[in-house]
Amino acid sequence: NGLYKEQITSIGCLLSLMIEESNQQYNGGYVLSLPDYYRLHLLGDPEMPAWSAVPQKLEVNVTPTQIEAGTNTITVQITNLPAGEEATVCLMKDAEAYTVVTINDTKPHSFTFSPKTSGEMKVTVTARNFIPFEKSIPVSRPKLFGHFKGWGNGESGYLPEE
């Protein structure tokens, strides 16, 4: 009843409702025993959502496909998010850069993301009754330039640093 009729999609809330309803089914105020509670104990995240329909695949476009350390603009677009639904977009690189935003449309959304080092950033998109979308984007070192002076002819300029 809770999942389909009342649209309760949090596992923790569903478990609590199940325990409450099972206590009400017994006459004489029967309360579940401690072993019963242990047996019904939820292992994991009580805020974990439960699918209330067959999960679909999220169609997500993420650009660019690679970035450099420093300030970047990442664009995320969910092309098949139903009207009225929300999706959570998370951009993360280790413990140095993290952004979470909730969106509710199919328009492109741009995020400023500033990793400090090279490596790999992760993009995760979740929505109710959709399989989570995950993508890794390589983060390279920024192209640095070094200053040089000419060989006595007065020329100077910048060269890529090796």
pLDDT tens profile 136-148: 999 998 766 555 5
> For 42-56, what is each residue's pLDDT tens digit?
555 556 667 888 999
| DSSP label at residue 51 | -
Asked if residue 156 lies in contact with residue 147, where contact means CB atoms within 8 angstroms, the answer is yes
Asked if residue 43 lies in contact with residue 35, where contact means CB atoms within 8 angstroms, the answer is no
> For 64-98, what is each residue's pLDDT tens digit?
999 999 999 999 999 999 999 999 999 999 888 89
How confident is the model at residue 161, as a pLDDT? 47
Q: State both tokens at 44.
A: 């994991």
